[in-house]
Every structure is written in structure tokens, then in C-alpha cells.
Chain A
């Protein structure tokens, strides 16, 4: 697969190295001559000096035959523009942008970047996952539909313990998809399923209803 990376900083460098190792054809674009030389010395001819937001540079790099385009500079506006030009001018099917300011993640998605990634948000999610007392964990957000897949742990003392799903009157746009109970096979909860302490529930919800869902399932 032909993959283009804009930005030869540490993110770009390690991405390039890993993708080359997997056998992909990779080209890095960076404005800085020294960075390009470093690439040349360590990874071979994989880096071209140029501005990844410039149409002419991208045309020369053969962006129109790239399957994945990654913008990994430390400037959000540059990453946004590079991805938009790759997508709209050159028809790259999958654009990925590094998001430096977490608040830009949503904006990038709205403005057509296929996959905006905020390292800060990733670390926050990781912390959520590792702290056992946090009742709601974000597992996945599904692009344009804005559906969130979350995991909720039923902790001791929670109001939902001993209640059936129908008694909880969950928000209309939230669905309990899976119930994971110690020592049992995962099951799909029904309206009559009674919740127990230490149950883990995988649920589909939306950003608007997430708080209400947490309140119904995990408040004390």
C-alpha cells in the first residue's frame, strides 16, 4: 500500500519506520532540509523536502495513487489543510490527522478528515480504562453517526443493582448490547435481565445521552 506522511517529526519518523517494516511503500514530506537528511541517512530515500499543504508538492509526490494519507505535523491547521487537499483534490480514500489540541478532534471530523487522532484524548481514555472506579469507559466512537460504544461497570452500592433493564428507563437512544458477567458467557441483556454487582455492560449511546445513561446505570 502507498502511504504518504506529512511531517517528519518523531511521530512521522516512527510511523514511517513501522510502516516500512510492514512492507508498505512510504513517502514522508517535510519542509525542513535537516530532517530530510536524517531520514535519508537512517531509512533511505523515503523523504522529500516540501510543503505537504501545497498542491504542486503533493502532485509530485503522487498523492493521487496513495491509499492512506497521514498528516502528522505539530500544527493542527497544517494537518487539516493537508488532509483536505489530499482528499478533495487528489481523492485519497483515507486521511488521518494528528490532532494536537484535543478540541480540534471534533472540528476535523466535521470538516471531513476521516480519522482525526488526538494523543491527549487517547491518554485520557487509557487512564479511564485503568482506573477501576471509573464507571463509564469510552470504547469507540463511530464517525458520522456519532454513536458511542461504552462499557459501564455496575459497582457495589449502585442504584441499578437488583433492578431489571426495563425498570431503569434508559434514554431512548441508548441500547444495552452485551452483558458480561463473571464466570458466564457474554449474553445479550433483555428487558427482564436483572443487573448484579460487577456486571460489565457494553452499551451503544450518543454523546448527548451518555451522562443520562451513566446516571441510570452507575449512580449511587
Chain B
């Protein structure tokens, strides 16, 4: 699969290296080149400095041929905007985005965007851990 990831923070970098190790063609975008230090030396994909809410930049990252797009920057709204561009402008078949705010996540899920809220997931995980011990 060809996958474009926006945001090379801890999650983005980790995801990129996992996918790369699985043999997928992976491109990571970040506005700060310094973020790419998080990628392991073995990373064989592409790291591009640029803004994923910019159509031109997404095109450069090969979004036109991508099978999937993942938005995991720190900003909920940036993720939402980039994911919608990937879905509605470039018709990428699989689009995932991170939305920290659970209520905002619900709104966008209702609008057809596939979103994950780490807040909800992590809170549930903690609760389960607390209650099973």
C-alpha cells in the first residue's frame, strides 16, 4: 500500500516506521524538519517538509496515488482539514484522523470522517486496567 502520514510526532513517526517495516510505501509530512529525528535510521520511506493542509504539498507527497492518508498532527483542526481534503478533493479511499476532542470527533464521524479520539480510547484503557487489577 502507498500511505501518506501527516505529522511526524511520536505517533506519526512510530506509525511510519511500523508501516515501512511491513513493506508499505510510506511518506511522512511535517512542517518541522527537526521532527524527522524521531524516524529510526532503518526508515526506508520518504520524509517531506511541508504542510498537509496545502493541496500542492499533498500532491507532492503523492496523495494522488495513495491508498491511505493518516492525519496525526497536534492540532485537531489541522487534522480535520487535511483529512477532508484527502477524502473529498483527492478521493483517497482510506482516510484516518486523530481528534483529541471527543465531541468534535463525534461531529466529524457523523459527517463520514473516520476518526480516533486518543482521549476516549486512553481513558477507557485506564479504567479497564484499574478495574481488572
- Chain A: residues with CB nearer than 8 A to chain B? 53-56, 75-78, 80-81, 84-85, 88-89, 103-104, 107, 110-111
Contact = CB atoms under 8 A, between A and B. Distances in A.
B84 interface: yes
Dominant SS among interface residues on chain A: helix
Interface in B81-112: 81, 84-85, 88-89, 101, 103-104, 106-107, 110-111
Task: Tell me the interface secondary structure of chain B in the complex.
Answer: helix
B88 A77 contact: no
Contacts of A75: 77
Contact of B104 (A53, A76, A107): A53
B118 interface: no
Nearest to A75: B77
B101 A54 contact: yes
Interface string B22-39: 000000000000000000
A53 B110 contact: no
Q: Which 5 A-B pairs have the closest CB atoms?
A: A55-B103, A77-B77, A77-B81, A81-B77, A77-B78
Contacts of A104: 53
B129 to A, nearest CB: 28
Interface of B: 53-56, 75-78, 80-81, 84-85, 88-89, 101, 103-104, 106-107, 110-111
A81 B80 contact: yes
A106 to B, nearest CB: 9
B88 A53 contact: no
Contacts, number: 52
Given A77-B53, A81-B81, A88-B111, A110 B89 contact: yes
A54 B89 CA distance: 25
B54 to A, nearest CB: 7
19 contacts: A53-B77, A54-B104, A55-B104, A55-B106, A55-B107, A75-B77, A77-B75, A77-B80, A80-B81, A81-B77, A81-B80, A81-B81, A88-B110, A89-B107, A103-B54, A107-B81, A110-B88, A110-B89, A111-B84
